[in-house]
Amino acid sequence: MVKLLIPLIVVVLGLAGTGVAEEVVLKNGDRISGKIVSETDEAVEIETVYAGVVRIDRNHIAKFSEPDQKREDATPALAVADKPKPVDKTEGTETPTVSPTSRRNRIGNHFASLVDGWEGNANIGFSFTSGNSNYTTLATGLRASKNIGNDKLNVYVRSLWNRNRGSGRMITTQNAFWGGGRYDRNINREVFGFVSYDFERDRPKRLNFRSVVGGGIGHHLVRSEKTQIELIAGGAWNRTWVPGPNTDTPEALAGSTLKHRFNDRLRVQKSFTYFQNVTEASTYRLLFDASVLADVTKRIGFFVTVGDRFNNDPVGTAKKNDFLFTTGMKWNFGKKK
């Protein structure tokens, strides 16, 4: 399966280099032709032959269309008049003046630094009881995304810790964490290739560690200013460390993601992934997460999250299904408003 998966990933990333020329039609009637290299909820970046990469606020965009090569009046609204570059004349020799800043901007146009450009939120929830019930629970999470031209990177991490202080002893009943990331490369406006990595550990379930490497093709089903819906399909390799012999399992995967923004303060997001054991049809796994996010200020807000992990062939005596409900405060970073 690994030998089949690696060529699939190579083909996906190879096809991803193909660009599609498009035309952005503004609400005032102007048209800008080029290749769209980045899209967010706030703006679109289009690479033109006459002005480099131009950033356009979505509020000014009427629609997207294929460029009409026969139009004689299709004068780009943001066209820059051809002007000679300033030259430094020394003893009859003309040397173009290019500032170090301009050179760095061109080189880093599509690949920003690793730490810049991230948007997302971190959250934490805590509960403590004493008396008839003696429990301490801590839940944390981090979700972030970064756009780099035609590329997009999403990462997430979540953890849950629970301790029972009853009966004069302190017993850890939950010590789990899971996370991962997905790297997307747009092939055109609707299709993208992806590679992914997910990991999981759950001590009470005797799951020492699970590592899942995957890849495949995705489709932008809905891609509007407020709503984004994506469908994915592909393959994965599941390596699981458990008491006794470790396991290696080839899996087929399919899933969907949803993001919807009701307004600047309230939004929801959901992800669902199904993993089917290729060698044993009766074995499968389900991952589901859904969150409601509400902002009180630009940086501070609260969240409600439900999660479900189902494995119809769990380790040892562990139960098949784990349900998680958490709520608490969150902090937004890199957010533009």
Q: With 90 as the cut, is the pLDDT of residue 17 above it?
A: no
Query: What's the predicted TM-score (pTM) here?
Result: 0.65
Number of other CB atoms surrounding residue 161 within 10 Å: 16
**Best-predicted range by mean pLDDT among 84-88, 126-130, 132-136, 215-219?**
215-219
Report DSSP letters for 190-202, one per residue: SEEEEEEEEEEEE
Min mean pLDDT across 10-19, 241-250, 252-261 is at 10-19
Place of tokens 């089949």: 4
Nearest Cα neighbor of 110 from 5, 185, 28 is 185
Contact (Cβ atoms closer than 8 angstroms) between residue 186 and residue 4? no
Cα distance between residue 297 and residue 294, in whole Å: 9
pLDDT of 71 over the 60 cut: no
Q: Is the pLDDT of residue 302 over 80?
A: yes
What average pLDDT does this structure show over 121-128? 88
pLDDT for 105 equals 54
> Average pLDDT of the chain?
79
What is the structure's pLDDT at 80? 39
Q: Please, what sign has the CA dihedral across residues 246, 309, 122, 124?
A: negative
Mention every residue, 6+ apart, whose C-beta is less than 8 A from residue 19: 35, 150
Rounded CA separation 333/59 (Å): 23
Judge contact between 269 and 261, C-beta under 8 A.
no
163 in Cβ contact with 169 (< 8 Å): no
